[in-house]
Each structure stands twice: as structure tokens, then as C-alpha cells.
Amino acid sequence: MAKKAVASLQKGGGKEYTKVVITAKSAKTGAYTFKESMIHNDKVKDVVAEASK
């Protein structure tokens, strides 16, 4: 399944996007959760800065 996603991103405008994985620790259980999203290259710094607050 991952191969299909990677292969489709290499065509056309897919190279303009970056996969961002943000980790967050749950206050209730102490377990880590991961939020994955595809972000345009121009907005990556903004998303990471907002998540680190």
C-alpha cells in the first residue's frame, strides 16, 4: 500500500508536498499519538512551529 502512495506522489505536483508526522503525549494515559499529514513545502515550518507550542 505504501508503494502506491509513494509512486503516485512522484508524478506531477506531488514533489511539492512533504509528509509531516507530529507526536503528542497523552496526558491521560502517557502514551504517544502520531498525527500524519501531507503539507505543502511552503507551509512546513509554520505547521511544525505551531505543533511545538
Q: What is the mean pLDDT of the chain?
A: 82
Q: pTM for this structure?
A: 0.61
- 53 three-state secondary structure: coil
Handedness of CA 46, 49, 52, 53 (dihedral sign): negative
Q: CA-CA distance, 20 to 6, in Å (whole number)? A: 14
Virtual CA dihedral for 32, 39, 15, 9, nearest 10 degrees? 60
Query: Locate cell 505551531: which residue?
Result: 50
Q: CA-CA distance, 2 to 33, in Å (whole number)? A: 20
pLDDT in tens, 4-40: 555 555 666 678 889 999 999 988 999 999 999 999 9
